[in-house]
């Protein structure tokens, strides 16, 4: 998988080659749920040449979400199970980096292969500009299908 070349590329929120390889090569068959913990920028960090109007990081990330749920839905078959704000830390130290998240996004994919095919799609990769603009930091956790 080629490394994105967006002017606002933030490698801190992208998987490493080893992480992509591990996802591709290991794990069970069948559906996966990806749990996203999201910390948004106050103002999206678009490159000056992008022509994007100033928006919040949350709004920029919403543009990215649209890309993988609508624009490349024929590849991802992504189903948003939950998208919403983090309201209160119930267990853990409130305000610490481990608990300081603005939003949670849970997306179900029919398989790891659907997720990886989406990541390799040119239309999806073009939409990464919105992800980089909107996110200050993130954690992405692969989960089982639930039941």
Residue 74 lies in a domain: yes
Band (pLDDT 50/70/90 cuts) for residue 144 is confident
- Does residue 128 carry a pLDDT above 50? yes
pTM of this prediction?
0.85
Residue 80 lies in a domain: yes
Residue 2 lies in a domain: no
Percent of the chain, pLDDT > 70? Answer: 93
CATH code for position 63: 3.30.70.100
Q: What pLDDT does residue 28 have?
A: 80
Q: 104 lies in which domain range?
A: 30-143
Residue 101 lies in a domain: yes
Residue 17 lies in a domain: no
Backbone angles phi, psi at 133, to 5 degrees: -65, -35
Helix and strand numbers, DSSP H then E, in the chain: 5, 4
Number of domains in the chain: 1
Band (pLDDT 50/70/90 cuts) for residue 2 is very low
- Looking at the DSSP bridge assignments, the partners of residue 103 are 38, 85
Mean pLDDT (whole number) for 17-37 = 90
């Amino acid at each position: 998988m080629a490394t994105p070349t967006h002017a606002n590329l933030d490698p801190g929120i992208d998987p490493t080659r080893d992480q992509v390889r591990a996802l591709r090569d290991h794990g069970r068959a069948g559906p996966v749920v990806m749990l996203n913990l999201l910390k948004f920028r106050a103002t999206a960090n678009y490159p000056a040449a992008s022509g994007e109007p100033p928006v919040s990081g949350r709004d920029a990330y919403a543009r990215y979400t649209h890309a993988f749920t609508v624009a490349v839905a024929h590849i991802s078959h992504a189903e948003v199970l939950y998208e919403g704000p983090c309201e209160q830390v119930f267990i853990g130290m409130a305000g610490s980096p481990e608990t300081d998240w603005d939003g949670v996004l849970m997306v179900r994919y029919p398989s790891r292969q659907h997720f990886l095919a989406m990541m390799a799609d040119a239309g999806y990769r073009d939409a990464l500009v919105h992800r980089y603009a909107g996110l200050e930091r993130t954690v992405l956790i692969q989960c089982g299908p639930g039941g």
